[in-house]
Amino acid sequence: MSEAGKHTNGEAVSSGSQLIPRLTLHAFMDDATNRANLEAACRDRRMTRVTSEIMEGSVLNAASHYAEQPTPNLLIVDVPDDRETAFTGLQNLAEACDPGTQVIVVGVRNDVGVYRDFMRQGISEYLVSPVTAVQFIETIASIYAAPAAQPMARVYCFTGVKGGVGSSTIAQNVAWHLAETLNESTIILDLDLPFGNLGINFNYEGGKGITEALLEPDRLDNVLLDRTVYKVSDRLNLYTAPAMLDSGFDPTPKALEKVLDVVKSNYANVVIDLPHSWANWARGVLLASDEIILCMQSDLVSLRNAKNLYDFLSAQRPNDVNPRLVLNMTEAPKRPEIPIKDLAEAVGADPACILTYDNSLFGTAANNGQMVSEVDAKNKNALALQELASLLARRSGNMTGSAKGNSPFAPLLALLKGRKA
Ligand SMILES: Nc1ncnc2c1ncn2[C@@H]1O[C@H](COP(=O)(O)OP(=O)(O)O)[C@@H](O)[C@H]1O
Ligand SMILES: [Mg+2]
């Protein structure tokens, strides 16, 4: 679990790249690195609907292969260095291609003239070898992005590394800032179906919220969405949990996919309040989100879980920004805690946001059904939450954690040994 590269993956897929539609992709590439990178790209969360077949070869093999067979939606081919051979190969391939097949060409020449000549052949893109997994994903996404479609939402998934760390509170406050401070249309999805507190925390009782959509996803359309979502304001919307024990169920991946598809086409930001759970469906939601925000406290259980989750999620999502850490309830009176520096070193990342324990502020907000900025906009925790919202909205990726050298476990072990100190 301690792959060295994962905290320093330097490249992330740009935030505009959305789920690539269902399509078939074939590739003929001589270069083993490019083949491996394309295989990695095909494992990316944005490519789950793509069926791929990656073969050794070049445009020459592809041309003879498809003379006999129908072409896939998307074809990626290597071209030989020799220009004449490359062009003849592409011409033969063009004759074999079904209309509608898109072709990406990979070559070794980094030259504008060559690029223009290839593009004139009607190909969709020319990429210079070696091509990274991220380049493959972004190129494919750009070919299939519908130019007329409005930009799809960003999905922010908040979860606690253990229960009760304030994850729902943080998700709700950040969503409030995205909507009310940054003026972006935002919806919060409460996926804590039996116990969710989204409605209560915004002083709203009633409605079935998200239940109907998750139980009967085929019925969900913009009309049903509009009817079941509660509008706090013009920009902030709640998809509340039923919080009823008799209707307990685990949402299916298909239902979750449908709900996310529909909400993503209606709002700029989708903030998911995911309960602390490692059920398959919850893990699926986490892995498929654009940003993951792990909320924790400065205790040993939080530290161990945060480290495990951070490592797992970073490794599973090599083409994404690493999860963000939010450290909550620091400086609680009389409560011993692990110093922030040690904690950051053990997990391998600095917290993106640190909040202090403030019973009065959070208690008042909870009792009034308000967000903390509505209670006291100048409070340092209110400002820290606002700052976190801005950080997330900037859509920039801090790809490197603060891990330095050595085994990532060494500091953790040291801490565990010194727990009485
Ligand atoms: N920084 C804080 N200081 C004091 N109380 C807090 C703080 N953050 C959250 N809380 C309170 O902790 C409780 C649990 O928060 P909640 O968001 O429901 O946690 P989770 O979703 O992680 O289970 C709530 O009563 C909330 O108001
Ligand atoms: Mg919660």
Task: Tell me the pLDDT tens digit for each residue of 128-165.
Answer: 999 999 999 999 999 987 655 556 789 999 999 999 99
Q: What is the mean pLDDT of residues 2-30?
A: 74
Residue among 4, 8, 265, 315 at smallest CA distance from 149: 265
Residue among 154, 153, 136, 150 at smallest CA distance from 290: 154
**Bond into 130 cis (ω within 30):** yes
Answer for the pair 186, 237: CB distance below 8 angstroms, yes or no.
yes
- Please, which pLDDT band fits residue 214 given cuts at 50, 70 and 90? very high
Answer for the pair 269, 178: CB distance below 8 angstroms, yes or no.
yes
Residue 214: φ, ψ to 5° = -75, -30
Does position 276 have pLDDT exceeding 90, yes or no? yes
pLDDT the model gives residue 246:
74
CATH class of 17-144: alpha beta
Does position 289 have pLDDT exceeding 80, yes or no? yes
pLDDT the model gives residue 410:
40
Alpha carbons 362 and 381: distance in angstroms, whole number = 9
pLDDT the model gives residue 324:
98
- Cα 171 to ligand 1 centroid, rounded to whole Å: 11
Look at 400 and 361; give whichever has higher pLDDT: 361
Answer for the pair 35, 54: CB distance below 8 angstroms, yes or no.
yes
Q: What is the mean pLDDT of residues 375-385?
A: 98
Q: Where are the alpha helices (DSSP H) in 317-409?
A: 340-347, 359-368, 372-375, 380-393
SS3 73: coil
CATH topology of domain 154-417: Rossmann fold (3.40.50)
Q: Where are the alpha helices (DSSP H) in 317-355?
A: 340-347
Does position 409 have pLDDT exceeding 60, yes or no? no
Considering the chain, tell me which residue range(s) the CATH 3.40.50.2300 domain(s) occupy.
17-144
Mutational pocket test of ligand 1: of 168, 169, 371, the residue with most ligand atoms within 8 Å of the beta carbon = 169
168 lines ligand 1 (CB under 6 A): yes
- Cα 164 to ligand 2 centroid, rounded to whole Å: 7
Indicate which atom in ligand 1 lies nearest the CA of residue 328: 1
Q: How many residues does the chain have?
A: 421
Answer for the pair 249, 193: CB distance below 8 angstroms, yes or no.
yes
Considering the chain, tell me which residue range(s) the CATH 3.40.50.300 domain(s) occupy.
154-417
Look at 14 and 168; give whichever has higher pLDDT: 168
- Cα 288 to ligand 2 centroid, rounded to whole Å: 19
Q: Where are the alpha helices (DSSP H) in 72-191?
A: 83-96, 112-120, 133-144, 167-180
Task: Tell me the pLDDT tens digit for each residue of 184-198.
Answer: 999 999 999 999 999
**Which distant-in-sequence residues (6+ apart) come within 8 Å of 191 by Cβ?**
210, 241, 251, 272, 273, 274, 275, 282, 285
Does position 397 have pLDDT exceeding 70, yes or no? no
Q: Which ligand is nearest to the CA of 163?
A: 1
Output the pTM of the full model: 0.84
- In single-letter form, the type of residue at position 300 comes to L
275 lines ligand 1 (CB under 6 A): no
- Cα 225 to ligand 1 centroid, rounded to whole Å: 29
366 lines ligand 1 (CB under 6 A): yes
With helix as H, strand as E and coil as C, how does 249-286 read? Answer: CCCCHHHHHHHHHHHHCCCCEEEEEECCCCCHHHHHHH
319 lines ligand 1 (CB under 6 A): no
Does position 401 have pLDDT exceeding 50, yes or no? no
Indicate which atom in ligand 1 lies nearest the CA of residue 366: 27
SS3 210: coil
Residue whose Cα lies nearest atom 19 of ligand 1: it is 166
Residue whose Cα lies nearest atom 9 of ligand 1: it is 166
**What number of CA atoms fall less than 13 Å from residue 71's CA on the CB side?**
24
- Please, which pLDDT band fits residue 121 given cuts at 50, 70 and 90? confident
